[in-house]
Structure 1
């Protein structure tokens, strides 16, 4: 065992992330302003842990000043959240702004500026308006692409002087994968063609928003927050390596390549055709994607994804799923976050950083989410009432270490952001697994209490250096 210290550059982001739907609550929300998560919660509340969901969430809409003060206390330099598309407009077809909701964001950005915290804003973090899902099929429709650009135009016009770091989507692959591939979330429809159409239209929408931003001459940048799963094959055998390559193609390169390189991988077209996955695209749309790549990326990294070659036949009547090419593989002896069921392997950050450096032109990027969700955190409360979350401090330290190590190796990594600042609602798991530096007390009016990790993070931000006890594996 040894101790080593690494410097945190002065300009390096030490921030945290959340989303509108996971924090704000429904206070002030008007009839017809339901987002996709809102409808899911209304129709399927029983699948949300203990019934908690977006209806109240953390009540950030009313308590944002209190939370921004806590952000300052924690030493955050940046805070990423989203604007809820479903709430920002009262008429999605004509782009009529909800002035009350827009005024809330004006006040939030002003308060963040007063406290010296820079906002980073996603335009969609699963908050597709339910109206557009029910009328047009959501992102399956080219009409929705145009309406998203209209919404974005209204947001930019309103806030471009207060926000300069914009992101089209958070994890654009997730909703359609859970709904249309895996049929795990409402409205539970297995349709691979719909899945692919959503993927393409989100890539197209990103390119069109980038084009709009540049045509308007706004200061700042437009990127996207992706969640590529760093994928490792079980072995070096060709069939396992191919399984990992296929997984990477369908879930990671699906967005990385068009957003950064301006084109889909040719082998993706070939495999979709082979499996008769029909999706609608035009040469003009591919040209828009080619000519309007993003300025930067945020990368969400939590755990590795390990796969092996499939050992069973695919059922002939089941629609094509990328799992045709792979099966999950569980590494024996792996470290685990048992609450979440995820492997802990901090090296994923270094490995992804080197991939971006070597395969994606070393585009500017940052760790947009990294964190540890733990169940029943009350068991770690001390006599003074503070949760002593040393496990979270260790998790953040190891992952931040890999980020800084990658930066020293030439990765163009601009920062590290936690998921999350406060405990907040997650899809289905609700408040089951807690991620925050700040505890949300569900039994006492959602009162806020700093955990041990908040003071540690503040010290990290002030001193701008990370000290880590290294074992041989981490070295």
Structure 2
């Protein structure tokens, strides 16, 4: 083995409730913003696929967990659906949801798969969205109570908890860049949502500490490392600003306990500062996490602005930088994003040098390919491209670990082909293929490779 990982390393995959569970008649689940939007704004979803069926995990979880064991998973990250557990976001708990999550957790443990449980993966209960979602401070309290309920119900067995998946995305995609419901385009409202999510994270961590349970709690970040076109000062400034808005705004608050001073200066200058109280700042300052998840898919390449922003336009981070299309970049043409394996090494080094080398793991990394059925031969998807992608990223991760990075595991996105936000089933990510017509799940070549790699704790 020339690429070897520790025997204690966490190997597995990540998923989320809305993207995998699906619905069944009489399951007691309340509606969330994706259930609503995929019907009401159906034209925004690839081939009009809604959240009703997704990958049938609610129905198939026992067989699916057996499939995890079949390819040597020792861990699996998924989320609890807030609107399944507490249909209106506040109030009565759904007993069918409690039974489902209890049995899911018990089955994972029985099969030797450590449950990594995330509380919020973009899926605001619709009843709470009606009062503003995370724009409304009442929803922080509702989330805190939801977290407490989860810890009480499942914390005796779940030892790895995460408050949010990609806290930037509900703010940026839902309130600035018109990709997620409620399709608002307003920077100050987006900043308010992000700040309230950070406060809600802190409240949940405090509730967990008060519970005196013997586990770890953290958060999962979407990190896009920023690379300037050149060392020209104007390009370096563009990279600094992109990093300030999209990474440091969240990372510094959660990992350093304070917002960057420069961010505050910029938001004050442009009258975009959200309402932040002294109590919020104190809470952020005193809240510490145990474990950090990092989702990595692509780099962000930027250059100096070529045109002045429209003075009548919507304020956004893109006022300070332009995207740089690097000649010769390697692309995943299915998703239109660059493939850059070294980015995972650069993130590891940044955690090591800037964020106290906190314990962390790769919580998502993967490649979504359109038209995978073209690669089926002898009844199996021959996804050598996914194996090559994994090997390249794992080599860089291994190098960072040899240099002292405290990485504890690697979870690929995802286990079974799942429903994606907006893209539905356009691109496939799984170790197992889902046949949309029949619901049948079959392992891909990458799943068989992963099984052997985990058994050996590495590869040649």
* Matched residue count: 460
Q: CA deviation at 1:42?
A: 1.6
Residue 264 (structure 2) aligned to one of 243, 248, 269: 269
Q: CA deviation at 1:29?
A: 6.3
Stretches of structure 1 that go unaligned for 5 or more consecutive residues are 468-475
Q: CA deviation at 1:254?
A: 1.3
Alpha-carbon contact 1:87-1:98 (below 8 Å) kept: yes
Provide Cα deviations, 1:217-239, integer angstroms capped at 9, x if missing partner.
Answer: 11111100000111100111111
Name the SS for the 2:78 alignment partner: strand
Match of 2:89 in 1: 92
Name the SS for the 1:90 alignment partner: coil
* CA distance, structure 2, for counterparts of residue 289 and residue 99 of structure 1: 34
Residue 56 (structure 2) aligned to one of 56, 59, 72: 59
Name the SS for the 2:459 alignment partner: strand
User: Which structure 2 residues correspond to residues 153-302 of structure 1 after superposition, within 5 A?
Assistant: 153-302=148-297
Match of 1:6 in 2: 3
Q: CA deviation at 1:454?
A: 0.9
Change (3 A) 1:358 1:278: closer
* CA distance, structure 2, for counterparts of residue 184 and residue 129 of structure 1: 18
Alpha-carbon contact 1:306-1:330 (below 8 Å) kept: yes
Alpha-carbon contact 1:349-1:399 (below 8 Å) kept: yes
* CA distance, structure 1, for counterparts of residue 431 and residue 49 of structure 2: 20
* CA distance, structure 2, for counterparts of residue 273 and residue 32 of structure 1: 42
User: Which structure 2 residues correspond to residues 45-444 of structure 1 after superposition, within 5 A?
Assistant: 45-94=42-91, 96-135=92-131, 137-382=132-377, 384-444=378-438
Stretches of structure 2 that go unaligned for 5 or more consecutive residues are none
Alpha-carbon contact 1:83-1:123 (below 8 Å) kept: yes
Name the SS for the 1:97 alignment partner: coil
Q: CA deviation at 1:90?
A: 3.4
Alpha-carbon contact 1:401-1:466 (below 8 Å) kept: no
TM-score by length of 2: 0.98
Q: CA deviation at 1:31?
A: 7.3
Alpha-carbon contact 2:28-2:96 (below 8 Å) kept: no
Alpha-carbon contact 1:29-1:87 (below 8 Å) kept: no
Match of 1:472 in 2: none
Change (3 A) 1:29 1:311: farther
Match of 2:449 in 1: 456
Structural RMSD (CA): 1.2
